[in-house]
Structure 1
């Protein structure tokens, strides 16, 4: 039985601190910290302990407590602010300035830290820093107090409280510029992207001259894969101010997302010629070169990123994520230093753990490799809030709602286009290989992982019908002409990613959840299920750090349960849509490339073309982690790579279950 997590009277302790009862508060804090408390409560208790110790002038103990708290949560801005106060009290202005700066970097709404920094910069005579800090203070002071408070809460990760406060303010001050932008930021962090998009679209319409709103809007559009619209926004920003470097950076990213790689690279190189110290631009440049297949240029850019910022864990992970890069001993030591750096954010450490896992795996040091993967996954999973039960419920809703009767009800509805070829499945299942094979055909355009179907599902999930139903149950309430409209809208939205071939690929693995929706709006679309042995697929996902989403992949039990749910739902689609989905087993492709290529092409109604067998020679933009792998001929070495880690994978095996594992035994 798991140990019961204790309830902590945080409000009572906070009241004691406010009343100056620091000894009593400290005793209560230490008592509760000896028990089993949740992570969030532990963070709050540790923070209040620092405050008490500072007021009691126990500066040494307080600094030690701050170090302990930051080891638990490196991105906790208020712990850095307390450090600044402690160094100030001990007449250490340089250390105080570093601490306050880190606090403002993590939470730009900490007015007290900015004000402390201003005094320190003034004492140093640092005029440039004084000017910048004064501008930030004035900006924060101009914000309405509820918006400043909500911004502070958001930056501390208290999103629900921030949202509630912001909405209360907007009810009284409708269409307030900062309120709209902040609520959109909160929605984005909560991954409610449709709400964020609507709010920012409204903001740029109401405040067309607001560079802040338009930059935020363009950045969101990039995040959700709407690169063409993002590019339109960046063009307007640059017309407003040709020297807007942030707008130029967003425009370059938009070009890259649209496959206009030469334009994107040109833009990034121009920005770097002006500001070569910006490591984030080097990262972007590396990603662009990797997408283009320029491996050495990508490596050089990633190296520049970590040379500009030693704590840039993303640079090390990006090198690892080329899949073929071999780290030097010096780079391994640099990655270790990220873990001990006080200035490294938690995300930097996560990236470094995954990169170091890859470095040790390449050296066949599988025990240390798995430990690094485990540490990175634990940090990532602990903060993403993933619920396996929620996924199970989503799958069950699809099965209960998408019935033979529903498809009969909408027979003949939908858009009759045959253009799209969807590739679905799990990440790391061989889907990029299938995409590359098909994209090598003269009649097929390769695109990218398009978000359009996921976006439609999200919209239907938040907009109830007259009967009060939401997606997927609401589908039965919709009119047939809506299905056609949704299909036509999908084709219109994806037009920007095509190059003129009769067919195009939408390789979004997560669309397996929405196969039924796809067949309702695009009944003639082809759907391919990329399947891989469960142990190989799941472990490959576990050691992959994804840029966005795939929250299930950071825990062995969770990813195993997710795989089972995926199989259960694909079995349902086979039952209610017989013959609509072609299942392609990755191991079969590796063992019989020509046979599986012909099978793929036959399913898509395409004549055989020999260049599909030479897929690795096809030059195109590839934005997934498998980019380097599919630029090489088929190889077998990855089929059972997970077996090196088998002693550590018992939680995954239990979650998958013997019945499922036995079913796929023949593919080993």
Structure 2
């Protein structure tokens, strides 16, 4: 590209600027052909001028020729590699064409060329959010906001990144800053409803869902969130009304109907069921993820109607589709569990017995998913000395801040390299997470089921913590996982053999922790809890060092939201109808029974067709 210098004569410069202003007016009015003609005329006067080529590229893209526009911008960037504006515009065109990796490269070059160019930081942050690289996106978006906090999308993208990394309070904070930019932005209210729902602040979440509906009565996501919020707080009839309203809005039918099917018992004449069956007639036209949502909902409905063979077939198809989208390999998970048990030995516990952060005594309620963790935490949440934290990523985030612990776990450093301070720092990081989430009591529950893997390390980091390991009959527990659509959150649940292996590792973990930490770990049987709620609650509270409170038996009146798959059940009195549910499926569970082996009695194996 042969470049011509810009005009320096005042009169010529004024004429060019006037023409550029006219070109801008053409573009604003959608008259791109006229703008293009005017730009070509200027380029005849100043052939190859980078700024004019840049403007022509954008005009071509706006008029429906993005490929030609990109080609011209690439030429500009090739001759002016530090032109941050051109780099950002080229990245934007590449992103619009779906070429996100190339777009990120341009945005990164723009940030390197001009670190204080807000749009470069903003676009790079947005591209990283789309790539699910949230850890890298957050500092870019924070920097862009510091440079120019008036752009609403910056705050929305930052809130999304924080939410996806489990920093829910940070997400809420970002959204409230977005609200200051535009108090009437429907998207902000919708996202606040979702984030506050996750944060278990149900009254405020409901306010923002309703505000979004006031501003946009046909905002389907707002109605969907409202339905979830109302269900989580026990108002099932109103939740059903909200979800049926959502189902009538464009693009929301499947999500809303499926949610309602999972929230209440299906009858043949239930409106959500009759409408879902109509959607099922077009199942072949659905993308895999939507089809999986449909299949799991059909499975739940047919299960409620007693057609268990049909239900099983739909669950199997839903799991097949989910596994296709989210493949799973059990080997690294098994290896991690084996490594954890070998690392946390009696010798390690004794060597670091003086480590850890005292003064905070979290109650970890963990085990296999669908083992009763939600019910147990909901009961504890009614105790006057306990603050409920729900499913938190506090432990995982704390481990990420401990490079030496990770190196030892991955056997890149010897076990002997661990120091007391590593565990104390882990406890401090955990407490800092709690405080960021507004959880400041000494007794806070953390019911993330996966913490069962980390019991030993958490025990060293938090010497006053106690651990409740929930146990449920393996066939009931694993079937309950298999019939839930966890999506990307729990791909192990898509295969019965993988679930059996996960249960086997949990069993080994539970036995190991109970053996090496007998005063800190208590196994709790789900079946015993539903058979004798008061007796088991008294034992658990005694183990935790808490006085008896009859309120724990009235967990259905708790004002806490419940945001897990157990939402409907924990709003009912403790009941036993989920015990031995597996018998409905009998021989359909033969592959699971074979994989579980000696965990089952001969009678149970025979009931599964073995």
TM-score w.r.t. the length of structure 1 is 0.71
Residue among 186, 197, 200 paired with 1:245: 186
* Cα distance in 1 for residues equivalent to 2:283 and 2:581: 33
CA distance 1:458–1:555, shift in 2 (3 Å):
farther
Q: Distance in 2 between matches of 1:522 and 1:433?
A: 24
Distance in 2 of aligned mates of 1:573 and 1:386: 26
Change over 3 Å in CA distance of 1:213–1:405 after alignment to 2: farther
Alpha-carbon displacement from aligned partner over 1:50-84 (angstroms, at most 9, x marks no partner) = xxxxxxxxxxxxxxxxxxxxxxxxxxxxxxxxxxx
Please list the CA deviations of residues 621-648 of structure 1 after superposition, one character each: whole Å capped at 9, or x if unmatched: 2222222212222222210111111221
* Alpha-carbon distance in 2 for matches of 1:268, 1:411: 48
SS in 2 for 1:613: helix
**2:268 touches 2:274 (CA, 8 Å); kept in 1?**
no
Q: Which moved more, 1:401-410 or 1:298-307?
A: 401-410
Among 581, 586, 594, the residue aligned to 2:521? 581
Q: Is the 8 A contact 1:560 1:652 kept in 2?
A: yes
Q: 1:425 to 1:213 in 2, by over 3 A?
A: same
Asked if residue 297 in structure 1 is aligned to residue 238 in structure 2, the reply is: yes
Equivalent position of 2:128 in the other structure: 184
Q: Contact 1:283–1:302 (CA<8 Å) still a contact in 2?
A: yes
* Structure 1 residues 556 and 323, CA gap change in structure 2 (3 angstroms): farther
Matches within 5 A, 1:193-208: 193-205=134-146, 208=149
Distance 1:213 1:471, change over 3 A: farther
Residues 146 and 620 of structure 1: is their aligned pair in 2 closer, same or farther, counting only changes over 3 Å? closer
Q: Which of 259, 278, 281 is 1:318 aligned to?
A: 259
> Deviation of residue 183 (structure 1)?
5.0
Distance 1:308 1:117 in 2: 35
Alignment pair present for 1:596 and 2:540: no
Q: Please, which of 346, 361, 366 is the counterpart of residue 404 of structure 1?
A: 346
1:457–1:471 contact (8 Å) kept in structure 2: no
Kindly state the Cα deviation for residue 336 of structure 1 after the two structures are TM-superposed: 3.6
Asked if the contact 1:323/1:628 (under 8 Å) is kept, the reply is yes
Q: Is structure 2 residue 452 aligned with structure 1 residue 508?
A: no
Measure, in 2, the Cα distance between the counterparts of 1:497 and 1:290. 23
CA contact (8 A) 1:421 1:527 kept: yes
Q: Report if the CA contact (8 A) 2:224-2:243 is conserved.
A: yes
What do the CA deviations read for 1:490-514 (whole angstroms, capped 9, x no partner)?
2232136567754221111111121
1:225 maps to what in 2? Answer: 166
Is the 2:362–2:442 contact (alpha carbons within 8 Å) kept by the matching residues of 1? no
Which whole-Å CA distance do the structure 1 matches of 2:593 and 2:474 have between them? 9
Q: Which residue of 2 aligns with 1:215?
A: 156
Describe the SS at the equivalent of 1:321: helix
Distance, in Å, in 2 between the alignment partners of 1:402 and 1:150 is: 47
CA distance in 2, matches of 1:249, 1:295: 21
The yes-or-no answer on 1:544 pairing with 2:496 is: no
Q: Which residue of 2 aligns with 1:107?
A: none
For residues 550-595 of structure 1, what are the alpha-carbon distances to aligned partners after superposition, in whole Å with 9 as ceiling and x for unaligned? 1111121221111112212222323333332110011111222222
**Cα distance, 1:341–1:632 mapped onto 2, change above 3 Å:** closer
What SS does structure 1 have at the residue aligned with 2:175? helix
Q: CA deviation at 1:165?
A: 7.6
- Give the secondary-structure state (helix, strand or coil) at the position aligned to 1:423: strand
Task: Say if 2:250 is the partner of 1:306.
Answer: no
Q: In the TM superposition, what are the counterparts of 1:597-612 in structure 2 within 5 Å?
A: 597-612=537-552
* 1:373-392 residue CA offsets vs partner (Å, 9 max, x unmatched): 11111111111121111211
Distance in structure 1 (CA, Å) of the matches to 2:149 and 2:603: 57
Q: 1:17-36 counterparts in 2 under 5 A? A: none
2:387 corresponding residue in structure 1: 445
Q: Note the C-alpha offset of 1:322.
A: 1.6
Determine whether 1:660 maps to 2:599.
Answer: yes
| 8 Å CA contact 1:282, 1:301 repeated in 2 | yes
Superposed CA deviations along residues 231-277 of structure 1, whole A, max 9, x for unmatched, are: 22112222223333222222233333333322221221121122122
Give the distance between the partners of 2:222 and 2:462, measured in 1 at CA. Answer: 39
Q: Deviations over 1:178-227 (max 9, x none)?
A: 56325532552xxx654454554455446544433321111222233323
* 2:389 partner SS: coil
Partner of 2:203: 262
CA distance in 2, matches of 1:207, 1:663: 68
Partner Cα distance (2:417, 2:99) in 1:
37
Q: Could you say which residue in structure 2 is the equivalent of 1:520?
A: 460
Which of 489, 498, 503 aligns to 1:563? It is 503
Post-superposition offset of 1:425: 0.7
SS in 2 for 1:364: coil
2:368 corresponds in structure 1 to 426
Match of 1:355 in 2: 297
2:178 aligned counterpart, secondary structure: helix
Match of 2:473 among 528, 533, 536: 533
Deviates more, 1:367-376 or 1:327-336: 327-336
**Which SS does the other structure have where 2:174 is aligned?**
helix
How many residue pairs get matched?
A: 522
Cα deviation, 1:489-542, whole Å, max 9, x if unaligned, reads 322321365677542211111111211221121121011101101110000011
Which ranges in structure 1 are unaligned for 5 or more consecutive residues? 1-111, 119-139, 156-161
